[in-house]
Structure 1
Amino acid sequence: MKILLDSHFFYPSVGGVEMMSEGLARAWESQDHRVTVVTDTPRNGHEELRDLEVVRGPSIGKRIRLAQWADVFVRSGNSLKSLPWPVLTGTPHVTIHHRPLAESHMGSVRRLMERGATYLCHNVAVSTAVAETIPGRTITIPNTFRTTFDQPGADEENREGLLLVGRLVSRKGVDVAIEALHHLRNKGVEQTLTICGDGPERETLEAKVRQIGLEDPIRFEGWTSPEELTEKYRTASVTLVPSRKEPFGIVALESIASRCPVVASDVGGLPEAVGDCGILTEPEHPEALADGIEQALRPDVRESLHAAMPEHVDRHRIDCIADEYIDVLHSVANGAEG
């Protein structure tokens, strides 16, 4: 099957969409499908991926020819910019929704168009929470995780401290994690927190840490490479995902693949990402997060969480996820309505 994958965000940019797009493209290629990736992301001096055909910033004519070539057109994201090409060429197409669609309001033409576009294709949502916002026909296929974090041999020895990985923005709830650590200290529970990530809220968060006197147990490490994160997941006691909003929660999956339990907000796609491998808590509630951390540190609870991890990780491996997509793409390419 000839697959054209249009991913506005792609290597060398770093993020969940980029990871999913590259992982799916490689997996489909390994299954003997012919895959071409179209992206507007420039290389910016990085070497091109040698084992994938990537077309960057093509002309209108090139986009049309590629759409005509493909048996199925896959849009990674609901960008209206990529919509005309499968529509003009009549190429069957699938849209992968990584985020919820915003509600349409009177006068919001773009939102109306984005929602209307879901009736022109088959839609795949990365979580039930995302699927519920899409008016067109939709199925759910979860995200995968980077294979570098697949650490089935990681054990309970030499694990200590809490870990938080993510962009330092309000929706990630880093401030809630800081408050939770403060609550634990007031209860006599001493824990460290390592924060890996950067963003516009960093200065504000660092000031908050100083204000409540937690400079020693809380460390801001900035952007952290996947190789460094591999070690941090393997040695942390618990990973925190205290998000206010989260379409899925790849960090939770990465942690679980490294056999590190998760304490996460009960919002969006996080319940599906966490499964039975972590503790879900009320969002924006530091006391609840602190209670969840204490629970996840108990040996009997950790034993139960670890027992659930192998099956959960297997469910989200790239080969499994890619196969589910191929079933959908075959169906769409062959004109099926399901």
Structure 2
Amino acid sequence: MNSTSIDSLQIGMHWFNERPGGLDRMYQSLIDTLPAQGVSVRGMVAGSPGVFDASGGRVQAFAAAQSQLGTRLWRSRRQSLALRTAKMPDVVASHFALYAAPTVGVFRRVPKVVHFHGPWGAESYPGGGGGWSRAARIALERFVYRGATRHIVLSHAFGRLLHETYGVREDRIRIVPGCVDVEHFDIDLTRREARERLGLPQDRPLLFCIRRLVSRMGIEDLIDAMAIVKPLLPDVLLAIAGKGPLEAQLQARIRSRGLEEHVRLVGFVPDDEVPLWYRASDLSIVPTVSLEGFGLTTIESLAAGTPVLVTPVGGLPEAVAPLSSELVLQSSGYRSIGEGIVDTLQGRRVLPDSAACRAYARGRFDRPVVAAQVADVYREAIGAF
């Protein structure tokens, strides 16, 4: 086989523009960038018929994302059989265990690569609950993962998790970081201009956090941290972007701590506005408390030229520490976050400047850089099969 010509089948979850999420952003990035690395792509996800045109004819939706689970699973298998009939791929890459499971047995003589974006079962029940349903999800993940020739993880932290929780052999695990479209975030605007476009005050230090509003993201700790920041830096404003089930609770938390003038929940931010928010901010924060394999928002912020403070959880330190250890807080929790913010804004914690942030993101995490590493793993899997 020509080493520059590989046909891959990519089994995803959703198309990013329809159901935005970190996994879906990574999936779409690889669909867009792998062809330039000599890897042609065909894909299947749950979504609308519009996915085909949006993906340039590369990805097909096998069922609507909101359809019944049984329908989605049956149609996933039916779609995989149709794709096999059209052309047997050289490698099958799965990004979501639930939709990969029905395809087991369809591509028996084809090497498989699992992109492990996170522990689906544990993320569904972050508090450890869920009973048999959680156990069933983990069992399904193990079933899918054990058939893979290679496994791609975003960090050493997730490599350990994959080995310890799912029994994957360490010699089959490869670390390839997440990627972002640096050009999308590296916009040609000053901080003042970005704030003007967003209608934000020009005379206040601005902090930014974009996360799903669920418990493991640490938004509660970040709000509590502002109670430490407010007396020392009374002009600071924190904007929290995102939607989720905790929205009402978080708004009540803001009110109960008297932070209405210092913390704003700004809701869902469209993808084309996210770079504006990063550029408008003095600092971004990722306060995660658990299950963070990489944290694409860290790299998005750096690509926009805005330094980011992260908690020492999962793969977050691996993502930013090579740029500066000062980007990693001493611990998770509201006190450490609050002290880190104050020390940064008062100049005691010196973070990389905008140019250094952008250069770091471009050199390590730009989409073509990461796509080349993924292509190498695919070739390795084919050679080892």
- Larger deviation: 169-178 or 316-325? 169-178
Aligned pairs for 1:152-163 within 5 A: 160-163=205-208
Contact kept? 2:91, 2:378, Cα under 8 Å: yes
State the match for 2:12 in structure 1.
Answer: 7
Q: CA separation in 1, counterparts of 2:76 and 2:219? A: 42
- Larger deviation: 131-140 or 270-279? 270-279
Choose from 188, 195, 217 the match for 2:262: 217
Name the SS for the 1:34 alignment partner. Answer: strand
Contact kept? 1:10, 1:39, Cα under 8 Å: yes
| CA 1:162–1:55: 2 relative to 1, 3 Å | same
Choose from 336, 339, 342 the match for 1:294: 342
| CA 1:316–1:230: 2 relative to 1, 3 Å | same
> Is 2:50 aligned against 1:36?
no
| CA 1:101–1:21: 2 relative to 1, 3 Å | closer
**Larger helix proportion of the pair:** 2
Structure 1 position 163, deviation (Å): 0.7
Name the SS for the 1:10 alignment partner. Answer: coil
Aligned pairs for 1:198-277 within 5 A: 198-245=243-290, 246-275=292-321, 276-277=323-324
Q: CA separation in 2, counterparts of 1:303 and 1:127? A: 23
Structure 1 position 30, deviation (Å): 3.2
State the match for 1:129 in structure 2.
Answer: 157
Q: CA separation in 1, counterparts of 2:158 and 2:43? A: 24
Q: CA separation in 1, counterparts of 2:276 and 2:288? A: 23
- Number of aligned positions between the proteins: 333
> Is 2:336 aligned against 1:319?
no
> What is the TM-score of this pair, normalised by structure 1?
0.88
Q: CA separation in 1, counterparts of 2:314 and 2:351? A: 26
Deviation string 1:8-59 (CA, Å, 9 cap, x unpaired) is 222422111111111101111234532111112234x678315242221156
Name the SS for the 1:142 alignment partner. Answer: coil
State the match for 2:220 in structure 1.
Answer: 175
Q: CA separation in 2, counterparts of 1:291 and 1:22? A: 37
Name the SS for the 1:289 alignment partner. Answer: helix
Q: CA separation in 1, counterparts of 2:117 and 2:51? A: 26
Name the SS for the 1:239 alignment partner. Answer: strand
Deviation string 1:286-310 (CA, Å, 9 cap, x unpaired) is 1211111123325575454556421
Contact kept? 1:143, 1:248, Cα under 8 Å: yes
Name the SS for the 2:146 alignment partner. Answer: coil
Counterpart of 1:145, as a letter, is V
> After TM superposition, which residue ranges in structure 1, 4 or more long, deviate above 6 angstroms?
154-159
- Larger deviation: 201-210 or 61-70? 61-70
State the match for 2:180 in structure 1.
Answer: 145
State the match for 1:63 in structure 2.
Answer: 80
Deviation string 1:202-255 (CA, Å, 9 cap, x unpaired) is 111111111111111211110001222211100101101111122211111111
| CA 1:148–1:304: 2 relative to 1, 3 Å | closer
Q: CA separation in 2, counterparts of 1:328 and 1:192? A: 44
Contact kept? 1:240, 1:262, Cα under 8 Å: yes
| CA 1:66–1:86: 2 relative to 1, 3 Å | farther
Choose from 10, 17, 21 the match for 2:23: 17
State the match for 2:97 in structure 1.
Answer: 78
> What is the TM-score of this pair, normalised by structure 2?
0.78
Name the SS for the 1:288 alignment partner. Answer: helix
Q: CA separation in 2, counterparts of 1:294 and 1:140? A: 34
| CA 1:160–1:151: 2 relative to 1, 3 Å | farther
Name the SS for the 1:133 alignment partner. Answer: helix
Choose from 105, 115, 134 the match for 1:96: 115
Name the SS for the 1:290 alignment partner. Answer: helix
State the match for 2:380 in structure 1.
Answer: 331
Q: Which runs of 5+ in 2 are unaligned?
A: 1-5, 63-74, 123-130, 193-201
State the match for 2:198 in structure 1.
Answer: none
| CA 1:112–1:164: 2 relative to 1, 3 Å | same
Counterpart of 1:119, as a letter, is R
Q: CA separation in 1, counterparts of 2:239 and 2:76? A: 45
RMSD: 2.8
Q: CA separation in 1, counterparts of 2:269 and 2:61? A: 27
